Every structure is written in C-alpha cells, then in structure tokens.
Structure 1
Amino acid sequence: MRRAPRTIEEALRRTRVFDGRYTAQQLEDSRRRITEQLTELRWMQLLAGPGSPTHRLGPPAALHERAAHDLRALCQGVIHDADAARRIARFDTARDPGGALAFACLLVLADREEGAQFWWQFAAGAGNATSAVCLYLLHLRRGELRDAQHWAQQTAALEDEPCQYTPVAHEVLEPAPPIVGVAVHIAFPQDGAVVPEDAVRDAVQDLDACQVDGFGPIPQPSPDLAHQLEDLVGTTR
C-alpha cells in the first residue's frame, strides 16, 4: 500500500495534471472560480481590519455575514453623527444627499432594505461617497461581487468631490496582486453607541411610501423624523 504523503510539498510533487483531460472552457471556469475565491478572501481580510467591529467580536463565517455586520455598524455610525438629524430635516424639503444617506441608514436598520438601496443610489448619484460605501457593503452581503466592486470603484471616484459629507471615515484600498480591483476599509466609531433597531422600526413604520419601478414602495421622510432621530440618538449618549 502506498503510504500517505508526510508533507504538503510531497503531496504537491505527487500531483499530476493530465493533458487533454480538460477543455479550454473548463480551464477558464476553474481560473474564474479561483479568482473569485481569492478576491473574497482578500475582501474578508480588508473588512477584518483593526477598525472593524467584527474584528473585535470575532469574524463571522463568511464574507456576506461580515458585510452584513459592517453595514449595520456603518449605519449606526452615520445616524449618530451630530449633523445627521439636521440633514434629514433638510432632506424632507431639499433632497440633500447627506440627508438621503442618513435616511437610508435608518431604513436599513428598520429592515427596509429596498428603500435604503434606492436612497443610497440617489445620494451616490449626487456625489456622496459614503452612500457608495453602503452600496458596496450591501452587495457584498448579497454575494453580488461584481456590483460590490462597481460601488467600491465609485467610492474611489467620489471621495474627492467637493463639500463631501463623510460622517464615518473610509479608505479605498488596492489589493495586492493577483487580486484586481479595489476594496474599502471603514474606520468605525470606537464608542460603540447603538440605537435599538426596534425603536428605529417604530420610527419609520408609518412613513408614506411612493411606488418606484424596480424597487417597489419607497418610504419618504416625514417632517418630524429628524426630531425622532435626535431623541433616539440622545438616549445612547
């Protein structure tokens, strides 16, 4: 009986690739899968940087779980910004992109994800880089790596826009070869203040909604939502 290899190097020496066994398409599919796995591993390493709450609490089992944790932590950081309530108040009348960002973060904490995506896309289209970061994490959570990469690249393009509202600091990183593209590292607030998500759901549950093709009913801000946000955040300080 042939003995088992004692080292990884010995196992690799025994490995054989048989010419003609695989088609060109099979080889290409294999390369694509390996690239996707390496990309996901690199993204997990970047998301688990020293500022990540999941780094402090222990890493979730997969990239989409890490992204889900970080998205909610980012939303908590945004709504705790001292300027968030004022921007939501302006958003009700002037559609300020910073207000759209903060409003969308409230929606995702209330599990109104489609509405949050709509308003983040609105804000990113108006030049807000943090909204692009939120979309990056949203698509990572869904396992949509190509869309996540698009919003990471948009973040890099938008972060130098003038009058940038960045309530939570972030940095666009270029992974080392062979990984291609960019990723985003987020400097999460260190105080760990958290608004209970049940309270956020209560605050947004009665908002009016408008039907938007491709998104469904999209919640609209109310005049008193900014005051409700101030009250919610005030209880955590």
Structure 2
Amino acid sequence: MRRTDDHASLSARLEQAEVLTHTYDDYDIEAARRRVTAPAPAVAPSAGPDAPREDPAAHEQADRDLDLAVALIVDTPQAASALGRLVDEERPDPEGAVVFAALLHLTGDHDAAQFWWQFAAGGGNRTAAFCLYLAHQRRAEFSDATYWRDQARNLHAPTPVPPPVLRGSLLPERVRHRLLAQCRTGRRPTLPARLEALINRLPVDSPDHDFGPIPRPVDTLPDDLPLATEPGAGGGRS
C-alpha cells in the first residue's frame, strides 16, 4: 500500500477528530499542528521521490497520534487552570481529568491514564473519548476503539461557562517544546526525570479492579509542576 506524507496524514487525522478544537476553543490548535507537523531536517533519500512506502499498522498510527494528542493537551494555556479545577473542587472537573491523564500517559502509566480519561468521558468530555479511541486502537482493541470513536463524535459539549482566570503554563516552555519536538521526529514524548518523579510521588488509591493502582492529584500539583525542573527540586510516589 502507498501512503501520503506522514506529517500530512497525522494532521488530517487530528482535523477529522475535531475534538481538541472543541474542548480548547481559545487555543491556537493550528499553530500547534504546524509546530508538530513541520518537516524534520531533510536527509538524502535512499530511493526516488515516488518510491512506495508501507502504511504503518493501525495500532502503530494510533500510538503516534495519542502521543501527539497528549503533547497538545499539556501545551494548552488552559491546562493548568483545568488541572487546578480538578484538585480544588469538591466535584472534580472532567477537563482537568483529561490533563491529569495526559501527564500520567507521559510517565508511561497508561492504565491510570485510561482510568482518568474514562472519568472525563463519563462527564461528557469529547477529548477524553478521542484519547480513549486512540488508546484502544493502539492496543488493537478495535471494538472498544470504535465505541469511543463514536462517543467522541456524538458527545455534546456542556453548557459554556465564563472562562476562568488563566494560571501560568502547566509545564515550563522548554519542556512543552521538547514534547512537541519529540512527536515531530517520531519519538515517544517523555517528561524530564524530575517532573516524572514528582508525578510518581502522588498518592495512590487502593488498586482498581480493572486499572490497578490509581494515582490521584493533590492540590499543590498545578503549582509544583512548573517548578519541578528548577535546581534543587526533587520528587518520587509515596
């Protein structure tokens, strides 16, 4: 099989999903797409420009797309405010759960990320449903993937509320830039060791029957994340 340019294909998938744009209406998603899909530095081709290339398997493409979606989620200006609403309110905010799940995904805790995305999708969040579609697709669980793809298309956004006062960025700029750059070059996005250690120190609830131990956010997390890479910062999961 032939395929079009990887970057164009990836951009098209995000465009078709129309999920991130609905959840983060004020975010310049097109600028983020351009940053991620900009061509990597050119290398000498081993064959002519029309040489056929094999399509990646569906689960491999979903793996890449989920990494990109996660990098875009934590890059949004709204991410820190959303996470703050998750930890500050008596009724946790679904949008904050999407952000928290993205952080867990970046540490490799995919089961816990799925738990929080399901929590958010249960609250009507379309971005969470789209992430669940990709999460199941990457594991070749195609029936579950189809269910969540349909949910992402059919969920209705909640009644708009006045936009909150934005906090600072969720992660330092250099970290967010690195995550997007890793996606652009086809690598798995990872957090710096200190940030990962901070998340790994979060309290863990009793193991869930389906997902195992589930980390939960603490009220200091939105403020701790931007500081975790500064000299003298530390962390690990208790």
- The normalised TM-score by structure 2 is 0.60
Instruction: From 164, 171, 178, give the equivalent of 1:194.
Output: 178
CA contact (8 A) 1:54 1:66 kept: no
Matched, 1:150 2:147: yes
Matched, 1:125 2:125: no
Matched, 1:210 2:172: no
Measured after TM superposition, the shift of residue 162 of structure 1 is 2.7
Q: In structure 1, how many angstroms separate the alpha carbons of the residues matched to 2:201 and 2:55?
A: 34
Instruction: From 204, 213, 217, give the equivalent of 1:221.
Output: 217
Measured after TM superposition, the shift of residue 49 of structure 1 is 4.1
CA contact (8 A) 1:108 1:116 kept: yes
Query: Equivalent residues in 2 for 1:33-182 (5 A)?
Result: 48-50=10-12, 61-94=56-89, 95-163=92-160
Measured after TM superposition, the shift of residue 93 of structure 1 is 3.1
Measured after TM superposition, the shift of residue 118 of structure 1 is 0.5
Q: In structure 1, how many angstroms separate the alpha carbons of the residues matched to 2:55 and 2:158?
A: 34
Amino acid at match of 1:209: V
> Aligned residues, how many?
166
Amino acid at match of 1:72: D
Q: 1:156 to 1:233 in 2, by over 3 A?
A: farther
CA contact (8 A) 2:198 2:228 kept: no
Amino acid at match of 1:134: C
SS in 1 for 2:178: coil
The CA deviation string for residues 32-52 of structure 1, in whole angstroms up to 9 with x for no partner, is xxxxxxxxx9xx9x9634467
The range that moved more, 47-56 or 68-77, is: 47-56
Q: Which consecutive unaligned segments of at least 5 residues does structure 2 have?
A: 15-32, 41-52, 162-175, 180-189, 231-238
CA contact (8 A) 1:98 1:123 kept: yes
Q: 1:97 to 1:161 in 2, by over 3 A?
A: same
Which residue number corresponds to residue 33 of structure 1?
none
Amino acid at match of 2:139: R
Q: In structure 1, how many angstroms separate the alpha carbons of the residues matched to 2:37 and 2:139?
A: 18
Measured after TM superposition, the shift of residue 88 of structure 1 is 1.1
CA contact (8 A) 2:107 2:191 kept: yes
CA contact (8 A) 1:76 1:194 kept: no
SS in 2 for 1:193: helix
Percentage of matched positions with identical amino acids: 34
The range that moved more, 146-155 or 46-55, is: 46-55
Measured after TM superposition, the shift of residue 56 of structure 1 is 5.1
The range that moved more, 106-115 or 76-85, is: 76-85
Q: Which consecutive unaligned segments of at least 5 residues does structure 1 have?
A: 1-40, 165-191
The CA deviation string for residues 30-73 of structure 1, in whole angstroms up to 9 with x for no partner, is xxxxxxxxxxx9xx9x9634467579569873221211111111
Let me know the Cα RMSD of the aligned residues. 3.3
CA contact (8 A) 1:64 1:141 kept: yes
Q: In structure 2, how many angstroms separate the alpha carbons of the residues matched to 1:143 and 1:54?
A: 25
Compare CA radii of gyration and give the structure with the larger one: 1
SS in 2 for 1:82: coil
